[in-house]
Structures are given as C-alpha cells and as structure tokens.
Structure 1
Amino acid sequence: MNKNVGTVCVHGKKQRRNVDNTGAVSFPIYQSATFVHPAFGESTGFDYSRLQNPTREELERVVNDLEEGVDALAFSTGMAAVTALLDILEPGDHIVATDDLYGGTIRLMESICKKNGIKTTFVETDKVENVEKAIEKNTKMIYIETPTNPMMKIADIEEISKIAKKNSCILVVDNTFLTPYFQKPLKLGADVVLHSATKYLAGHNDTLAGFLVTNSQEISEKLRFITKTIGACLSPFDSWLVLRGIKTLHIRMEQHQKNAKKIVEWLKTQKAVVSVYYPGLEENESIEVSKKQGTGFGGMVSFHVDTPERAKKILKDIKLIQFAESLGGVESLITYPMFQTHADVPLEERLARGINECLLRMSVGIEDVNDLIEDLDQAINK
C-alpha cells in the first residue's frame, strides 16, 4: 500500500517492528541500557542501547521513510549529527560549504575540522557556478543549507548534485528548515540529509536531537561505526518525544507556512521594515528553484528593520512572540542572529552576509496569525 506523507508521519511506510505484545498504540519507551541474551550466541536483536534501542530504532524507521533513504541515524543533538558526519573525512580533505550556514556549523568547521587538518571553503551556494569554482583536487564533500540560515537563500540541489557526482564528492543537505514534508533532498541527488530534529521534527521546544539520513549503504556503514564508537546516540525518552512530534509534522508545517506567508505580506507594508527574506516571495531570484525542488516554503522569516535601536525595542516589547534561540516549535520565537546564532562568525563576515544589528529572524509558530501580527505591530510601531 502506497502511503501519503501525512500517513507516513503517523505510521511510517511499513508495519512497525513487533517488540511489544501489549498492543500499545503509542510506541513504548524502552528505558533500558542493556538487554538480556537468551543464550550464548543468541540475541533479541538488541544488546546495548548505545548500539541500538527499540524506541530509537522505531524513530529512525519513520524518519528514514519520510526522507526515502536506506538508513537514518538519530543523535543526541543536531551538532552531534554534524560532528559524526564530518568524522568520515580524513586529514587533508576539503569541504565546499554554504557561507550562510548555521553559526554552530561554521564554528565546528573553522575550529575542530581545521585542527584535524580538514579545510573548508565557504561560498554562496545559491549560485551554482561558485560551487564549481571552489572544487579542489582534495574536495570530498559539498555541504549546503537550503534555505540558508538566516538569509533564506536557495541552492539548486539537483544542479549541485551533478557537480558532486562529477567530482566524486559527498553532497550533504541540511533540510532542517523545510523538513521532508516540503523537500526531499535525497530524491534530488543528495547523498546525506541532515536535521537538527530539535526543530520542526520534534516541534515542541522540549528536546534536543539530530539526524543523518543517507541513500548510500557505504556511508551508512561508516556512520554506524562512528556512532557506535563515539556514542552520541539519542536516548530512549528523547526518541519517543521526537517520534510523538513527527506524528503531527504535516499538520504543523502547513500552519507554520500559512502563518508565515501572512506575516511576510504584513511586514512588507511596514515603513520600519527595510527588507524581508522568505523563500516563498515571488520577487526572489530563486523562486523557480524553490518551486522546482520543494512543495512549500516553510515557516522561517528574516527581516531588516531601519535601526539597531528598533531591533532591540522589538526584542524587548514583544509579548506573545518570545525572544529565544532555536526554531521550529509550535511557539513563535524571534532571535538576533548578530549576537546569538552567528556570534562566533567573524564580524566582517557577518556584516558581508547581511547579518547586522538590524536583522531579526523569526520562527513563525502555529498560534492565531492575527495575534502574532498584533504583537509585531505593537512592538515595531508603538
């Protein structure tokens, strides 16, 4: 039976593994560090929770089904997932990466990776030719975010995948902002999809988690070995929280997007708002790419206001919307990238990318959109 994405969010594609005989509708939390062997040389399929746990396995099954890969691995955080992924590289290898990445990923590449002899070249990946030009003889990975964080630039996954294949590079796509509900990078030629599952997949601002999904059996085996060795796996309870969150992913993503579109149109009418960044704007140069490779534009919006003083006033005066880091939860959050998510990026680089004291990034929640607009109005204009 072919299942649509909403059904896959709730059930996965196939019947779940029978590890419980109670008939529990909600998959149980197997809060056990270790599992009994029936006899020498025999196993129930579970030995030790660092290797695998029934609750984490069920979550990985559903995420893998959503992204349509061959394997999905759940990690304790999004950055744990990024770290494990970059561990498949060797000293002397080279990465071509989006310049407008999440600041924590840039920090990792510019510190730990550099220390380990791995060089990264950051380019504007919304221009395919930049990726081609940045390829070196030792380039092993192309790492992109699309939409980017926080400037919402769009990279053409299909075209970049051609460059990756021609140069025998692994193409990684951070799909945190759009999720497999709106975008499926593996179907467009990516080799690995990355998620900070803390965000939309879990969806309730109550847990930390990360994911790697791949369509390569070879990459899967390397990542499974790394995960087993470094041990940054997702706990049973957090696996259950993310699993529960995914059951409403399709409903939440539609509401996030519906609200975001209305807020974007309202922001465009405000004199104090200088510019608005949202993947679904028809005037975007990359709108056709967005439409070609996805089925939606998501709930993330960035905007410049006219002065730093107004930006700080908004952060102080908002009442319903909350000034907090992170994104993708049911609650609307607003952040100050210059001093929060991208604080570790060198100042000149931040400013060159438009990340200045006038830029705010909003994760639009699922509240009534009229209440959100009323809150923005009083914070911006009064």
Structure 2
Amino acid sequence: MTTDRNWKTRTKLVHEGTRRSQYGEMAEALFLTQGFAYDSAEQAEARFIEVGADEFIYARYGNPTTRMFEERIAAVEGCEDAFATASGMAAVNGALAAFLKPGDRVVSARALFGSCLYVLDWLAGYGVEVVYVDGTDIAQWQAAVTPGTKAVFFESMSNPTLEIVDLKAVAELAHAAGATVIVDNVFTTPVWSRAVALGADVVVYSATKHIDGAGRALGGVICGTKEFVRKVAEPYLKHTGAALSPFNAWLMLNGMQTLDLRVRAQTDTAAAIAAALEGHPKLGRLIYPGLASHPQHGIAAAQMGGFGTMLSFEVQGGRDAAFRVLNALEIVKISNNLGDAKSIATHPATTTHQRLAEDQRALLGITPGLVRLSVGLEDAGDLIADLTQALAQA
C-alpha cells in the first residue's frame, strides 16, 4: 500500500492502494472470495468488535481487491476514504439515503440523470423535503439553501445538457448554512475533477463510465471524509448489499491505469469535434463547455482545467431528423452508456430521460432533436467525417 500523496495523478492511478501478497505479484491480485477465515474464535470475535486497517470479515463489508480500488480512487480524488458500490446509482442512493431522514431538507439542481431524480423523489415520499433549483442560477441557490439545510446535491456537469454548476460558489453557500455538499462528478471525470478543492464534501462516481472505460462492468464509488464514508455511508451500504464485486473492482483497477491517458485523448477529440461542428447548418445548437458560446465556459475553465469527453447537439427537425442522423452513423454506436473507448450517441428524450414528463424535459432543455455524444478513442478525423456524413441525412 502506498501513501505518498505528493505523487501526480497519473502516478497515483497506477500505484496507489496496491496490496501485494507474499508472492510479490506485479498485477493487482484478484481476491475472488466472499468470506475470510480466522485463526481462532477469539480472533473472529475481536474482528467483529473492531476491524483493523488491513482486516476483512465479508465481501459485502470489504475485500482486499475492492479496498485497493477504494484507496486508489480516494487518493486521486483527494479524499480521506471511499466505499465502492455495485453501480453508480448505488453510490448516489447510498450517499443520499444513508444521510437523509424525514424532515431533512435537501436542495438539488433540477438538471439530473433520470435515476437521480427518481431517488430524490423517492426520498421525498418518505418525508425528506426536496427543493429543486436551476443549478446555473446562483440566486436560486441563495434563496433555497436556508439555515438548517442538510445537503445540497448536483451534477458538476449535467446529463445531458452539460450545464456547469459553480461548485465553489454553491459550496460556500451550503457550508454557511451547515449543509453537506454532495456532487455527482461522472461527466467531469476524476482526471478533470477539482471538486474537493472547490468545496465538495462527498463525491460520487459511476465507475461504469470512464473509470472502467471499456464498457465491461458496473461499479460506483462514494468518496469523502473517513467520518462520512465509514460512519454514515458504510453502515447503510453494507447492510443493504450495495457492495462492488471483487472481480469488478479488479477491472476498475486495471481501467484506472490508463484513465488519465484516455480521458485526455478523448477530451482533445471532443474539442476537435465541437470546433468542426460549430455553426453546422443542420444543428440548432451545439453544447460543449470548451466553446466560448457555452454559457458557463468561464466557470468550466476555472474549475475543471479540461472540458470533458461529452458534447450534445440539437438536430433541426426534431426526433425524426435526429433518428435519421443516429441511424446513418457508421463508427459511432447507438447506446445509452458513456465514457467508453468506443464513441456512443444517445437520444436522451426517448431513452435515458424518457420517463420524465414532456414539460419537465422541455424545462431541462432535453428536446426531441437532442443527441448526446460520448467521445471515444477513435481517430478524430474519422469521427468528424462520420458525424458530418450522418448529419447530411438529417
């Protein structure tokens, strides 16, 4: 296990959290076990009273491979600790449900992934007061985050319209009111994240996305202080069964070794695509935080350092025109995932956000013509050519 926090991100992504067995293996070991044996009944009793730093009871509570992943992502994110979960939504649900109780007030940006909205609405049904605001409007945050607010929640870059929340400004308001700042950081990625430095208390990821990076496995993680992770989140997560499997943790560890290289290359390609498509006559709007035309371009530049691997565009002509474009793509695949090595196009209005009411989609800017593009590792010129020929079919 390494502890040098002065290492740069790329080094941490390769080496942090490593546990080697007596064999001194170079690759991360896969401990594919759900239970652990004890030398004596006394040792078992002692471990159930207090688990040591490198001790384990049951894979639902922790596993050596999973622990490597938790320590590595915590080191990269700049947090004290992390708890790995079975999926990104298990992380979102765990961070919120473990923390909030009836009567608590949570203020959330309304621009969220559909499943995140479901979790908040479910909590509201059990007596949690949920207040939604326009995440880009600091005045609405100021009005809503009243003293005694328990938490604020938002996506640092929203799905799928790529709105950027001013994390530092919202965190200052939240902390002044005594609230905990919980940030879904999937679109920003660990590579471009400065969430903790800007005031986030808890950061959640769907590791299914860029961290795995190859569309292989589900996973999620909650990063935060040791107090929050172990005293607040862990009891709820381990008793409700949200643990990440050791095999999936092993895949995530392998994915992390190339995460920085992949995300930087994908970001460069996303910027090239955005530049090539800006002003295209078949597009009503093009959304990419790296463009000066993006409403929060300055905030994105200040709090990210890179503008991410995602862009969205609205095809003129609505759903039918958008479908013609999607069906004409040759390299880019149609799917609802993102963060993959393969470029993926998604039609949010009929897939990821289709359960939202039409007026709610309209409020969020999820129009019938909107297409979300997750940029992969293919050649930038090939992707631009593919998108250009597909748009000609609109």
| TM-score normalised by L of structure 2 | 0.93
Match of 1:317?
Answer: 328
CA distance in 2, matches of 1:184, 1:30: 32
2:34 and 2:59 in contact (8 A); partners too: yes
Quick check: 2:69–2:252 contact (8 Å CA) kept in 1? yes
**Partner of residue 176 from structure 1, selected from 186, 195, 206:** 186
Partner of 2:337: 326
1:161 aligns to what? 171
Q: How does 1:200-215 map to 2 (within 5 A)?
A: 200-215=210-225
Percent of aligned pairs with the same residue?
A: 31
1:9 aligns with 2:13: yes
Q: Which piece of structure 1 moves more, 298-307 or 39-48?
A: 39-48
Distance 1:137 1:283 in 2: 36
- Relative distance call for 1:317 and 1:58 in structure 2 (3 A) is same
Alignment of 1:73-112 (within 5 A): 73-87=83-97, 88-110=99-121, 112=122
1:336 to 336, 343, 347: 347
User: Residues 361-376 of structure 1: matches in 2 within 5 Å?
Assistant: 361-376=372-387
Which residue of 291, 300, 304 corresponds with 1:281?
A: 291
- Pick the aligned partner of 2:153 from 135, 143, 153: 143
Task: Tell me which of 136, 139, 144 is aligned to 1:129.
Answer: 139
Structure 2, gaps ≥5 residues long:
48-53
**For residue 220 of structure 1, what is the amino acid of its counterpart?**
R
Q: Where has structure 1 moved over 6 Å in runs of 4 or more?
A: none
Q: How far apart are residue 152 of structure 1 and its match?
A: 0.9
CA–CA distance in structure 1, aligned partners of residues 78 and 160 of structure 2: 27
SS at 1:292 equivalent: helix
1:283 Cα deviation after fit: 2.6
CA distance in 1 between partners of 2:230 and 2:143 (Å): 29
In 2: Cα distance, 1:216 partner to 1:21 partner: 29
Supply the AA of the counterpart residue of 1:90.
K
Do 1:107 and 1:344's aligned partners in 2 also have CA atoms closer than 8 Å?
no
SS of the aligned residue for 1:139 comes to coil
C-alpha contact (below 8 Å) 1:142/1:170 kept by paired residues = yes
1:9 positional shift? 0.8
Distance 2:239 2:148 in 1: 26
State whether structure 2 residue 269 is matched by structure 1 residue 259: yes
- Which residue matches 2:253? 243
Q: Following the alignment from structure 2 to structure 1, what is the Cα–Cα distance between the partners of residues 279 and 203?
A: 36
Aligned to 1:357: 368
* TM-fit CA distance, 1:208: 0.6
Q: Please identify, of 60-69 and 344-353, the stretch whose mean Cα deviation from structure 2 is larger.
A: 344-353
1:85 CA drift (Å): 1.3
Deviation sequence 1:200-249 (CA, Å, 0-9, x none): 11111111111110135245311111112111100000000111111100
Q: Which moved more, 1:286-295 or 1:36-45?
A: 36-45
2:70 maps to 60
The separation in 1 between residues aligned to 2:302 and 2:279, in whole angstroms, is: 28
CA shift, 1:119, in A, is 2.7
| TM-aligned CA distance change 1:325 to 1:62, over 3 Å | same
- Give, in whole Å, the separation in 2 of the partners of 1:187 and 1:69: 10
CA-CA distance at 1:41 after TM superposition:
2.7
Aligned to 2:25: 24
**Number of residue-to-residue matches in the alignment:** 378
Give how far 1:135 is off.
2.4
**Range with greater deviation from structure 2 (319-328 or 287-296):** 287-296
Q: Is the 8 A contact 2:148 2:178 kept in 1?
A: no
**1:365 is matched by which residue type in structure 2?**
G
Distance of 1:216 and 1:168 partners within structure 2: 19
Distance in structure 1 (CA, Å) of the matches to 2:287 and 2:42 = 58
Which ranges in structure 1 are unaligned for 5 or more consecutive residues?
none
**Higher deviation after alignment, 344-353 or 67-76:** 344-353
